[in-house]
C-alpha cells in the first residue's frame, strides 16, 4: 500500500516560531492523510493564539469532508481575526486527493505534470465563499506542496535543481531557505506520495 511522507516548517516574521500565525496540520493513519496549511491574519502572539485554536479544531474534525471542516472552522473562528486555509485529503490506497481552500494559500502538485489547485475567495471566520472540493489523482512520487504568502508564489522546479529530491523535510527546508520572503510569517507543508 502506498504511504506518504509529510513535513511542516514555519518561520515567524517577528520573534520565536512559537509566536507565528502560520500553522500546518497533518494526520496520517492506515488509510488516509489529512493535511492543512493555515495563515492567520496578522503576526505575533495574537495570531499564534488563533493558530492554536485552528489546530485544536482540526484535531477534532474526525472524518468530516473538507467542505464541512472549512464551514465548521468558519463558525469556530467567528469573532477572531480569521485565517486563510487550504486542506487536502489523500486516500492512501487509491491516490485520490481531494482539495478545498479559502484564501491565498497555494497548493501545487509536482510530478510528470504540474498542477495548481484553485482556492475560493474569502477569510475563514469573517467572510468566505462557499468552499468547493476538487479531486485529482496522485501518482507515486508526486509531491504536494502547500505554502503561505510568506513564500514566493511563483517558482518552478528548474529554479532550484534537485528541489523535489529527498524527503518531505528536505524539500520543505529547501523551499523555506530559497523562496521565503523577508516581510511576513512563512510556512510550507510538503507531502510526498510514496509507492
Q: What is the mean pLDDT of each run of 10 residues along the chain (195 residues)?
A: 86 78 94 96 91 97 95 97 98 96 97 92 96 96 95 86 85 93 91 87
**CA 88 vs CA 36, 78, 162, 173, 179: distances in Å:** 6, 23, 25, 20, 22
Rg from Cα positions in the chain = 15
Q: What number of other Cβ atoms are within 10 A of residue 188's Cβ?
A: 28
Cα separation, 126 vs 160, in Å, equals 37
What's the grid cell of residue 129?
Answer: 465563499
Strand 96-102 relative to strand 134-137, pairing? antiparallel
Residue extents of the structural domains in the chain:
3-194
| pTM metric for this prediction | 0.93
CATH for 3-194 is 3.60.40.10
pLDDT of residue 7: 97
pLDDT of residue 166: 86
pLDDT of residue 44: 86
Amino acid at each position: 500500500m502506498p504511504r506518504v511522507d509529510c513535513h511542516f516548517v514555519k518561520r515567524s516574521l517577528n520573534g520565536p516560531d512559537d509566536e507565528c500565525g502560520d500553522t500546518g496540520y497533518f494526520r496520517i493513519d492506515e488509510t488516509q492523510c489529512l493535511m492543512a496549511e493555515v495563515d492567520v491574519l496578522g503576526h505575533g502572539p495574537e495570531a499564534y493564539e488563533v493558530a492554536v485554536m485552528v489546530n485544536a479544531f482540526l484535531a477534532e474534525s474526525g472524518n468530516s469532508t473538507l467542505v464541512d471542516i472549512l464551514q465548521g472552522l468558519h463558525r469556530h473562528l467567528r469573532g477572531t481575526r480569521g485565517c486563510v486555509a487550504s486542506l487536502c485529503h489523500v486516500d492512501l490506497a487509491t491516490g485520490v486527493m481531494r482539495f478545498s481552500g479559502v484564501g491565498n494559500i497555494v497548493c501545487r502538485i509536482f510530478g510528470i505534470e504540474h498542477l495548481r489547485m484553485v482556492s475560493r475567495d474569502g477569510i475563514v471566520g469573517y467572510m468566505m465563499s462557499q468552499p468547493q472540493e476538487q479531486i485529482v489523482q496522485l501518482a507515486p512520487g508526486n509531491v504536494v506542496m502547500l505554502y503561505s504568502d510568506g513564500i514566493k508564489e511563483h517558482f518552478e522546479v528548474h529554479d532550484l535543481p534537485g528541489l523535489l529530491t529527498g524527503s518531505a523535510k528536505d524539500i520543505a527546508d529547501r523551499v523555506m531557505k530559497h523562496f521565503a520572503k523577508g516581510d511576513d510569517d512563512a510556512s510550507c507543508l510538503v507531502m510526498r506520495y510514496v509507492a
